[in-house]
Each structure stands twice: as structure tokens, then as C-alpha cells.
Structure 1
Amino acid sequence: MLNQKIEEAINAQINAEMWSAYLYLSMAAYCHSQGNPGMGKWFEVQFQEEQDHAKILFNYVISRGGNVTLSPIEAVPTTWNSILDVFESTLAHEQKVTSLINNLFALTTAENDYATQSMLKWFIDEQVEEEETAQTIIDNLKMIKDNGYGLYMLDKELGARVYTQASPLAGK
């Protein structure tokens, strides 16, 4: 059974993951409006992944005899200055999420909750990948600068991304 502090912290993380999903859907809409449908699709996959993250935490709270408490999702930004700005915002957001996950892990350490630590290790690894991916796209955009053909090719590459359900949800 989860102790109250950890249950509340995981519920807060569920809300943060749903906010992330909403943010990425907003970023998808922005990219589509800027004529970058591949990047829009890339963010739509991000949207689905963030929903998966919330569902993993949701399932975990239930499995440990806790109560999921869903809170309202605050508004997200809807405009950015450029495609580069969108991806720089993505990296900054993923760094914030990494901090939230790290703080949650620190709480489980202080509370000697080894089961929750084990579950959170998947999220820690996921955050390394999320930050690396965002940084790579930023690096590519900076290299491309205003080259229309380069932007077109990157848009096509990012549009090839396919949603894959998070492994902790397999069979659930």
C-alpha cells in the first residue's frame, strides 16, 4: 500500500503528465498551422506518449491500493515564435519533467518505498531519451537555419514517427 505522501506526489505527477500531453497537442496544432505537418505528427505522438505516462502512474496507484485523484489541467501555451522555439520549449519542458521525476524518486528514497522506486526507474530512463531527442532536433534546426529544403526534409523525417505503446502498458 502507498503511503499518503507518495500517493499525493504520484497524483500530482499524473496531472503533470496530462498537462504535458495537452502541451504537446497544442504544439502539434502550432506546427500544423505553420505548414509543418510532419512536426505536427511528431508532437501528436508525443501527446500519446504523455497520456501513456499518466496511465502507467494511474495503474500503479490502483495496483498499490491507492486512490487516483484527477485535478484540472491548467491552460498551456498556444503560440511560439518559431519552430525552433517550439523545440527549445520542448527541451525546457522535458528538463522540468525530469526534475519532477527525480524529486518523486527522492521522496520514495526518503520513505523507503522500494516498489515505487522500481517503477520510477522506467521514467528516469525515458526522460534521458526525451531530453536527448529534443536536443538532437534543436541541433538539426540550428544547422538547417533558414534552408527551406533542410526544413522540408526534417519535417518529413519527423513525420515518419510512429506511436508505440509504452512497454509498462503492454497487455493492460
Structure 2
Amino acid sequence: MLSTKLQEALNAQINAEQWSAYLYLSMSLDASVKGYKGISNWFSIQYQEEQAHAQLFIDYILSRGGRVTLAPIAAVPTEWATPLDMFRETLSHEQKVTSLIDNLCRLAADEQDFATSNQLIWFVNEQVEEEENARDIIDQLQMVSESQMGLYMIDKELGTRTYTAPSIAAQ
């Protein structure tokens, strides 16, 4: 059974994951309006991943006999000047999420809740991947600088991304 403190923290993480999903949906829509179909696709996939992360937390709380309490999702930005700005904000946001996951790990350790600690390992690894992906795309966008052909090629590449549902059991 989850402690009240840990249950509340996990519920807060569900809200953070849903906010992340909403942010990436907004980025996808902004990219689409601006004609970046590949970037729009990349953020649409990211939106789906964040929703799946929230669902993993929901399923975990329920599996431990806890109660999920959904909270309102705060508004997100709706426009970015450039794709580079989108991915810089993505990296900054993922670094914030990493700190949230780290805090959950500390709390689970303090509570000596080994099941939750084990569950969170997947999210720790996921955050390493999330930050690396954002950094890689930022590096690519910086390499092409003002080159419209370079931006076109990156947009085309990001359009090939497909969604694969995450599975903690696969760890």
C-alpha cells in the first residue's frame, strides 16, 4: 500500500505528465500551422508518449490499492518563433520532468517503498532518453542554422517517427 505522501506525489506526477502531453500537442499544432509536417508529427508522437506515461502512473497507483485524483491542467504556450525554440523549450521542460522524477525517487527511498522505487527506474531511464533526443534535434537544427534545405531535411526525418506504446514490463 502506498503512503499518503507518496500517493499525493504520484498524483501530482500524473498531472505533470498530462501537462507535458498538452504542451507537446500545442507544439504539434503550432508546427502544423507553420507547415512543418514532420516536426508536427514528432510532437504528436511525444504527446501520445506523455499520455502513456500518465497512464503508467495511474495503473501503478491502482495496482497498489491507491486512489487516483485528477487535477486541472494549467494552460500551455501556443506559439513558438522557430522549431529551434520549440526544441529548446522541450529540453528545458524534460529537464524539469527529470527533477520531478528524481524527487519521486528520493521520496520512495525515504519511505522505504521498494516497489515504487523499482517502478520509477523505468522513468529515470526514460528521462535520459527524452533529454538526449531533444539535445540531438537541437544540435541538428543548430548545424543547419539558416539553411531552409537543412530545415526541410530535418523536418522530413522527424516525419518518420512512429509511436510505440511504452511498457515497463519490457525493462
The two structures share one fold, judged by TM-score above 0.5: yes
Percent identity reads: 58
Task: Give the structure 2 partner of residue 119 of structure 1.
Answer: 119
SS of 2:161's partner is coil
Task: Give the structure 1 partner of residue 90 of structure 2.
Answer: 90
> Does 2:77 align with 1:77?
yes
Question: Per-residue deviation at 1:169?
Answer: 7.5
| 4+ runs deviating over 6 angstroms | none
> Does 2:150 align with 1:166?
no
Letter in 2 for 1:45: I
Task: Give the structure 2 partner of residue 27 of structure 1.
Answer: 27
Question: What CA deviation, in whole Å up to 9, does each residue of 1:33-64 have, x standing for no partner?
Answer: 11100000000000000000000000000000
Question: Per-residue deviation at 1:149?
Answer: 0.9
Task: Give the structure 2 partner of residue 146 of structure 1.
Answer: 146
Question: Per-residue deviation at 1:117?
Answer: 0.4
SS of 2:71's partner is coil
| Worse-matched range after superposition: 78-87 or 120-129 | 78-87
Question: Per-residue deviation at 1:140?
Answer: 0.3
For the aligned residue pairs, the C-alpha RMSD in angstroms reads 1.0
Question: What CA deviation, in whole Å up to 9, does each residue of 1:73-125 have, x standing for no partner?
Answer: 00000011211100000000000000000001000011101000000000000
Equivalences, count: 170
SS of 2:35's partner is coil
Alignment check: 8 A CA contact 1:56 1:169 kept: no
Gaps of 5+ in 2: none
Task: Give the structure 2 partner of residue 15 of structure 1.
Answer: 15
Alignment check: 8 A CA contact 1:42 1:159 kept: yes
